Amino acid sequence: MHNLLKILGNPDNFPIIILLFTVYGFFIYAMRKAKRNDERGIPYEADETDKVQVWPYLVRVEFIAAIAVMTFVLVWSIAFDAPLEEPANPTLTPNPSKAPWYFLGLQEMLVYFDPWIAGVLLPTLIIIGLMAIPYIDINPKGNGYYTFKERKWAIIIFSFGFLVLWVLLIFVGTFLRGPGWNFFWPWEEWDPHKVVAITNVDLTELFGIPTYNPDGTLNPIASIIGGVVVIGYYAILMPLGWIYLKKKMPDFAEKFGLTRYIITSYLLLTMIALPIKMILRWTLNVKYVWVTPWFNV
């Protein structure tokens, strides 16, 4: 615990502490207001019929907020020294070598995926998914007021994707990854000499099918099985979801459309694949599910 308190007091990590309190704090505050509106039936925001001009009322509040933030940053910069280290030494690599805090979620994903997947493919899908939201979200309800009942799926997916798969990964990479990028619990001291012997295996090796032949060439059977698992994950779950949607919510399915469903389900299944891969690594030490001569998944 002493080590954790020392890490929390590091000026480098102060923005992350603010991030945790503000993001989760405002989310809880918003959900409390949503619960209040849902219980009432009529949003409290609908009662606010009085309107004011942007100038000077809104601009005045924003100006005061900007002054407060500038004052806080000024006091912070005076009270705490910049977390600069000694000049870079090409013969000495820091242990652990960490990216800036806002990239630690990506660095944590590198533990479970190939660099091109964790550093290129997944961030690209995140950006594409955010850009696609206005085109795939056809629910007109819940605009302009806090609600959970009218936007439950959107809020659940947001909470899982951002609060869990992004903010939580930043927390893990900052406070729970120590020397050698080993995992340390909050009550454990960071031991720079700790060596964790992990025998990573591919998914097919769990069933006695080696990924590579004795001569070092790729075993085509293992590659085919891995491809069937990955492609089948999408090929089975996406149609099943569409069938369920057509059966349980036919009106919504017709309005939503097949194209929007394919895009949404693909992005959602890809997002869910991240914790699945993490659990496979934690429990079974699975490195790759699908190994090919060109890429590994």
| Distances, alpha carbon 167 to alpha carbons 50, 65, 231, 247, 291, in Å | 38, 25, 29, 36, 30
Q: Considering the domain boundaries, does residue 51 fall inside one?
A: yes
E strand map for the chain: none
Q: Whole-angstrom Cα distance, residue 239 to residue 261?
A: 10
> pLDDT value at position 197?
65
pLDDT of residue 142: 79
Q: Which residues contact 225 (CB under 8 A, 6 or more apart)?
A: 203, 204, 209
Identify the sign of the CA torsion 6, 9, 11, 17: positive
**What is the spatial distance between Cα 228 and Cα 225, in angstroms, rounded to a whole number?**
5
pLDDT score of 239: 93
Total domains in the chain come to 1
One-letter amino acid of 19: L
Structure tokens at 18: 């603010």
Q: Is residue 23 part of a domain?
A: yes
| Position 38 in a domain | yes
Residue showing tokens 């949607």: 245
pLDDT tens track of the chain, all 297 residues? 667 777 777 777 777 888 888 888 999 999 999 998 888 887 877 776 667 788 888 899 999 999 999 999 899 888 877 777 778 788 887 888 888 888 888 888 888 888 888 888 888 888 888 888 888 888 878 777 888 988 888 898 888 888 888 888 888 888 888 888 888 888 888 887 777 767 788 888 988 888 888 888 888 899 999 999 999 999 999 999 999 999 988 888 888 889 999 999 999 999 899 889 888 888 888 889 998 888 888
Tell me the C-alpha distance between 41 and 43, whole Å.
Answer: 6
| Residue 279 falls inside a structural domain | no
Collapse the DSSP code of 126 into the 3-class scheme (helix H, G, I; strand E, B; otherwise coil) and give the result: helix
254 within domain boundaries: no
Q: Which domain holds residue 89?
A: 1-99+140-190
The verdict on residue 206 lying in a domain is: no
Asked if residue 207 is part of any domain, the answer here is: no
Span 149-164, pLDDT tens digits: 888 888 988 888 888 8
Asked whether residue 201 is domain-assigned, the answer is: no
Q: What is the pLDDT of residue 1?
A: 63
CA 9/CA 90 separation, integer angstroms: 28
Nearest to 98 by CA among 163, 155, 25, 171: 171
Q: At what angle do helices 258-284 and 220-248 cross, to 10 degrees?
A: 130
Percent of the chain exceeding pLDDT 70 equals: 97
Express each pLDDT in 223-278 by its tens digit: 999 999 999 999 999 999 999 999 988 888 888 889 999 999 999 999 899 889 88
Taking the whole predicted model, whether its pTM rises above 0.85 is answered as no
Owner of token pair 């439950």: 152
